Amino acid sequence: MNINEKCQLAAVAFLNAASLTTIPAGQIYPGINGSDTDADTTEEPKVKLPCVIVDTGSADPVAPPSNNWKVPLTFRIRTQADDETSTEHASRVNEVLSKIITTTIADDLSGSLSNFTAFLVWPSPYQAGPSDRHWESSYTVDVTCVPADVA
């Protein structure tokens, strides 16, 4: 399993354990499972809304050959625009972000998956707006991590 997959799976496990009240159980998806875009088509895949999709960008090595990586980790919160207002969507986003924007997020991610340690999590800009027939908000953090358990 590569560092991108580990980072996504740690984030999904963490959010599932966080007992979110505004995102139903089973509706937090890692992008690696094809829950996001299908590489072979331009069609949006079938995901149940509301949901959170956790995806990563290209991982960059940090201080080679240390096996440390900097991984951009994106949390995308989606809500059906026909069923909810932007204010209702914002309430979901606030709950998800309240779990991510903490002083313990690196430790929380590390404890969510074996053979994965997050050392540092840097915030990035937040984006929001309508996307096709749903509201979508995204928040990206840069995770400095290693694919191993480090004490």
| pLDDT tens string 133-147 | 889 999 999 999 999
Please tell me the pTM assigned to this model: 0.88
The predicted pLDDT at position 74 comes to 95
- Return mean pLDDT, the chain: 89
Q: How far is CA 89 from CA 62, 81, 133, 150, in A?
A: 36, 9, 13, 37
The predicted pLDDT at position 128 comes to 81
DSSP 8-class letter at 93: H
Q: Could you list the beta-strand ranges (E) of 16-67.
A: 28-30, 51-56, 60-62
Could you give the CA distance from residue 49 to residue 28 in angstroms, rounded to a whole number?
A: 10
The predicted pLDDT at position 131 comes to 75
Q: Beta strand 51-56 with 68-80: parallel, antiparallel or unpaired?
A: antiparallel
Whether residue 137 contacts residue 93, with contact meaning beta carbons closer than 8 Å, is answered with yes
What are 13-52's pLDDT values in tens digits? 999 999 999 999 899 999 865 444 444 444 455 788 999 9
What are 57-91's pLDDT values in tens digits? 999 999 888 899 999 999 999 999 898 898 999 99
Q: How far is CA 33 from CA 8, 12, 37, 91, 113, in A?
A: 10, 12, 10, 27, 17
What are 106-121's pLDDT values in tens digits? 999 999 999 999 999 9
The predicted pLDDT at position 132 comes to 77
Location of structure tokens 């074996």: 114
